Amino acid sequence: MSKIFFSGIAGNGMNPLAQIMRLKGYEVFGSDANFDTHAKGNEKIKDFLVNKLGVKILPQDGSGISADIKTLYVTTASTDSNPDIKAAKEKNIPIKTRPDLLSQIFDDYKHNIAVGGTSGKTTTTAMIGYALDVMGKKPCMISGGMLKNYEDKNPMPYMIYNEGDICVIEADESNGTILQYKPYVSIINNISVDHKPIEEIMAIFEQVAQKPTHGLVLGKDCDYCRKLTPNKKVKTVWFSTKDETADFYASNIKNVANGTEYVLKGKTFKLKLIGEFNVSNALSAIAACSLLGIDEFETAKALEGFEGTKRRLELIGTKHNINVINDFAHNPEKILASTTALKQYKGRLLIMFQIHGPDPARLYGMQTMESFAKTLGKEDMLFVPEVFYKKETDNVSGKAMVEHAQKLGVNATYTETKEKARELILQNVKAGDRVIIMGARDNSLEDLCKSILEEI
């Protein structure tokens, strides 16, 4: 067996690839700084990799990079200061990135689908993978979020693994790696500022629109998507929740008990997810499957069983008529979509939002506060701790974001730490409220939700 090594194996990008390569028969080794520091939220990940899959976990100090390792795989954010990279270079071991391996796996499948867009791609990828799986199409699916439908089989269900002829992946535009893939079908759900200025993102998606060899799916409700020039050699299909001229249009969207109802071409379907944006995600999935020759009603029916992905408006639990929700929303558009969906139901919102790094804070930190201002009422409460991963030299602050929110009329409080936010939430929460913990990258946020639920 070939020996391969994943540096940063606990991450939601590297983890599913490590699982797939182990299932393919490779001898897999890995390291992660979160394992070395015993960071909260990572114990289950390590236990599953070691005891269920037989992955060998070693410290992230370079000691695991033996001369017989065939390839070291690293994240695109890794630098030469990583001890594993240093050790690999000393031993002349090839170093490749996660997108290198993902494109290798992806290109091995005949009918491959690359899901892109600045919002909704994780859920859309999961929807397509799930629908194809329950319809018996035997897909391989690789996502950045864990599928709740598969938690009983795999405590880290970032992927579905089959060796059929279909592969579905979440393709990341933030670092330009979306352009590495050779898709049969490409999806661009929407385009907005996230990680890069809009001009740079548009330049990337202009190229994405030319990549597919068979079909292109575009969101008609997005102004920027409508500005793209699709590849004229392939079939382009549009989806919308607003424009009835789209190829896939959902009407009569209604909030119902535990989900959302919609009408597609005269037939009514229900999702177990809330929000019009999730109906939009479903339409994207239905459109993509149609390009594989699958009946749209069959896909829509399959999606009625989809439970969602972890940390996408995920209900952690209810106690004393108080819902505690974990949500991955981290950019202005995602925050606006989540809060808009939440405000369609009764009850105050008590939100803790942690922006996930200094770069996002600089790029759109103030815009995230403007998204909250568009939706939150005076009765709602927003708690903002310090910027995640902030260093003393970083010229950003959660306090400045809160001051901006307060000027816009948001009932916002700077808490400095997550623990202080938790304390204030517990002091203020009452029956009928919803507590939402929002943010990306921080694996401890789920534990924070659970601790709040326990102490309510």
322-344 pLDDT, tens digit each: 999 999 999 898 899 899 989 98
Res 401 pLDDT > 90:
yes
Q: Give the side-chain half-sphere CA count within 13 A for 151.
A: 11
Mean pLDDT of 297-311: 95
The segment(s) of the chain belonging to CATH 3.40.1190.10 are 108-303
Least confident of 87-96, 121-130, 164-173, 190-199: 190-199
pLDDT of residue 327: 95
Query: Taking Cα atoms as reference points, which of 185, 218, 138, 181 lies closest to residue 291?
Result: 185
In this structure, are residues 300 and 408 in contact, taking their beta carbons and an 8 Å threshold? no
Confidence of residue 194 (pLDDT cuts 50, 70, 90): low
Mean pLDDT of 406-422: 98
pLDDT of residue 393: 86
Confidence of residue 265 (pLDDT cuts 50, 70, 90): very high
Query: Tokens standing for 7?
Result: 């540096």
Alpha-carbon dihedral of residues 118, 119, 124, 126, nearest 10 degrees?
Answer: 90
Query: Tokens standing for 338?
Result: 């989540």
Instruction: Taking each helix axis as running N to C, give the angle between helix 398-407 and helix 358-375, from 0 to 180 degrees, rounded to the nearest 10.
Output: 20
pLDDT tens-place string over residues 45-93: 899 999 999 999 999 999 999 999 999 999 877 888 899 999 999 999 9
314-455 has which fold?
Answer: Protein-Tyrosine Phosphatase; Chain A (3.90.190)
Superfamily of domain 108-303: Mur-like, catalytic domain (3.40.1190.10)
Q: Is 75 or 305 the better-scoring residue by pLDDT?
A: 305
Mean pLDDT of 240-254: 97
Cα of 136 vs its chain's centroid, Å: 25
Q: Is 144 or 320 the better-scoring residue by pLDDT?
A: 320
Res 112 pLDDT > 80:
yes
Specify the pairing of strand 111-116 against strand 166-170.
Answer: parallel
The whole-angstrom separation of Cα 170 and Cα 98 is: 12
Mean pLDDT of 146-170: 92
Q: How far is residue 406 from each of residues 2, 381, 384, measured CA to CA in Å?
A: 57, 11, 12
Mean pLDDT of 421-428: 98
Mean pLDDT of 108-122: 93
Mean pLDDT of 293-303: 98
pLDDT of residue 63: 95
Which segment, 160-174, 241-255, 434-448, is predicted with the most confidence on average?
A: 241-255
Radius of gyration of the chain (CA): 22
Mean pLDDT of 292-306: 98
End-to-end CA distance of the chain: 51
pLDDT of residue 246: 98
pLDDT of residue 195: 61
Q: Is 119 or 448 the better-scoring residue by pLDDT?
A: 448
Query: Tokens standing for 194?
Result: 């996230």
pLDDT of residue 14: 92
Q: Is 258 or 285 the better-scoring residue by pLDDT?
A: 285
Q: Give the amino acid at 242.
A: K
Confidence of residue 192 (pLDDT cuts 50, 70, 90): confident
pLDDT mean across residues, the chain: 94
pLDDT of residue 175: 66
Res 1 pLDDT > 70:
no
The whole-angstrom separation of Cα 245 and Cα 402 is: 42
The segment(s) of the chain belonging to CATH 3.40.50.720 are 3-97
pLDDT tens-place string over residues 352-399: 999 999 989 998 999 999 999 999 999 999 999 999 988 888 899 999
Q: Return the exposure string of 134-144: e unless at least 16 CB atoms fall within 10 Å of the residue's CB, then b.
A: ebebebbbbbb
pLDDT of residue 197: 79
Confidence of residue 37 (pLDDT cuts 50, 70, 90): confident
pLDDT of residue 78: 83
Confidence of residue 226 (pLDDT cuts 50, 70, 90): very high
Res 39 pLDDT > 80:
no
Query: Taking Cα atoms as reference points, which of 51, 54, 11, 52 lies closest to residue 29?
Result: 54
E strand or H helix that includes residue 370: helix 358-375
Res 153 pLDDT > 90:
no
Query: Tokens standing for 291?
Result: 């390009």
In this structure, are residues 65 and 84 in contact, taking their beta carbons and an 8 Å threshold? yes
Res 133 pLDDT > 70:
yes
pLDDT of residue 196: 72
Pick the CATH number of 3-97 from 1.10.8.60, 3.40.50.720, 1.10.540.10, 3.40.50.300: 3.40.50.720
Least confident of 30-44, 228-242, 279-293: 30-44
